[in-house]
Amino acid sequence: MTRNLLFIEGFKLFKRSRAWVGPVLVFLLIIISFPLTLDINSDNPPQIYLSFIWISTLLVTMLGTELIFSEDFEDGTLEQYAVNNKLIEIVFYKILVHWVLIGIPLAFVAFLFILSLNISIQISSIALICLIISNLIFINFFSLGNALSLKKGSILGLLITIPFLIPVLIVLGKITTSTMLGLSLMGHLSLLVGVMILVASFIPFIISFILRTHLELSLIHI
């Protein structure tokens, strides 16, 4: 049953190609347009490009998770999962599927973009690892925001979740600086991994509780 649910969620998102191809294409458009606004040369420090990548990935990930729960809420699918005590599982799977089909592809597209700027393979590889980790954090928080604002629009969710992600962006900036200066990254990377594990372990349970509350309130108002 567990594998079936994971397959179903993966197939549902894959079938809605606009939901996962769209964010990747938007990200491609952004990074293709970026060099047109900046004179690309060896004098530009890599921090400029990496900071641009962090922010762009954050915003595109937000776009990719905008409808993560709303369609299933409206058509009654979430209610069926709640009745069968599968709500927490489906939240985990939705986040996992969005990470695999959106978060990881974005990381590799960014990796190729960074390489194309003649930035060293070492820095590019570190950026790839950071993006894979941070995108899972982003998707969890944006999923939380979307669950909170399920009936009130995604803007509220954005206002709620963005402040929590600022520390992640700060850590990514510290990793960038340490890489440029040749300093040890283990402390910052360990912190990023720790945050990822903490977020991926607890936020789905919070989301599940919020979704169940929405469902119960919907039944009361019928």
Ranges of each domain in the chain = 2-35+46-221
pTM to 2 decimal places? 0.90
Q: Where does the pLDDT of residue 184 fall: very low under 50, low under 70, confident under 90, or very high at 90 and above?
A: confident
Q: What is the DSSP letter of 99?
A: I
What's the length of the chain? 222
Q: pLDDT at residue 53 above 60?
A: yes
The CA-based angle 201-161-37, given to 5 degrees, is 115
Q: What residue has token string 């986040």? A: 95
C-alpha–C-alpha distance, residues 125 and 212, integer Å = 40
Of the pLDDT bands very low, low, confident and very high (cuts 50, 70, 90), residue 154 is low
Min mean pLDDT across 60-64, 71-75, 95-99 is at: 71-75
CA pair distance 46, 168, nearest whole angstrom: 19
Mean pLDDT to the nearest integer, 11-39: 79
Let me know: does 178 contact 126? Beta carbons within 8 Å.
Answer: no
Average predicted confidence (pLDDT) for the chain: 84
pLDDT at 221 over 60: no
The upper half-sphere exposure of residue 170, i.e. CA atoms within 13 Å in the direction of its Cβ, equals 8
Taking each continuous run of H as one helix and of E as one strand, the counts in the chain are 10, 0
Cα Rg for the chain, rounded, in angstroms? 19
